[in-house]
Amino acid sequence: MPNVPSRFGRLAWLWLSLLVFAVDQASKFYFDNNLTMYQQIVVIPDYFSWTLAYNKGAAFSFLAGESGWQRWFFAAIAIAVSAVLVVWLKRLKADETLLAVALALVLGGAIGNLVDRIVLGHVVDFILVHWQNRWRFPAFNLADSAITLGAILLGLDMFKSKKTEEPAHD
């Protein structure tokens, strides 16, 4: 990544957020227009399928059955979190690349789901991981995947930071 003046922190990583957002929205558009609700196209028998599901709630359809207030509640949370992530990215130092990537992934995913929630009133999910007919993980999308990967990288960065800050014991 080219040197960016320090006053911009690691905002150059916003290109990754934009890429996550664009790929997420394109994939949701494709599946929303090419599958019917709960239709399942098996990709890997007994393990992985494409399906179309709408989630009016949060992760694992949390609060999906509510009267509609949750749409704006989760949208407000996503806007606040996104603002915090942009400020955090701006304040990062040049050597905090792993953290910048993590924040950019979470930001791109959060904005992808935010746009669905505001424009459509629900989040479009299409990835279904399952084991035979005995177990199914709730359907999810690429924005969710980016948020999850970003959270994992945040955890790794936290452990990396702690290890490098500890004084040597001899």
Look at 5-14, 27-36, 59-68 and tell me which has the smallest mean pLDDT: 59-68
Question: Tens digit of pLDDT for each residue in 34-53?
Answer: 999 888 899 999 999 999 99
| pLDDT interval class at 162 (50, 70, 90) | low
Q: Residue 30 has what pLDDT?
A: 97
Which pTM was predicted? Answer: 0.83
Helices 69-91 and 97-120 meet at what angle, rounded to 10? Answer: 160
Distance CA 15, CA 36 (A): 33
Question: Tens digit of pLDDT for each residue in 100-155?
Answer: 999 999 999 999 999 999 999 899 999 999 998 788 888 999 999 999 999 999 99
Asked if 116 is an active-site residue, the reply is no
- Active-site entry in 32, 46, 95, 125: 125
- Active-site entry in 46, 95, 116, 144: 144
| Category of 38 on φ-ψ map: left (φ > 0), alpha (ψ -120 to 50) or beta | left
User: What's the token pair of residue 23?
Assistant: 């790929």
Q: Residue 10 has what pLDDT?
A: 81
Contacts of 105 (CB under 8 A, 6+ apart): 16, 17, 20, 146, 147, 149, 150, 153
Best CA proximity match to 99, nearest among 144, 25, 162: 162
Q: Residue 66 has what pLDDT?
A: 53
Residue 65 pLDDT greater than 60, yes or no? no
Contacts of 72 (CB under 8 A, 6+ apart): none
Asked if 125 is an active-site residue, the reply is yes
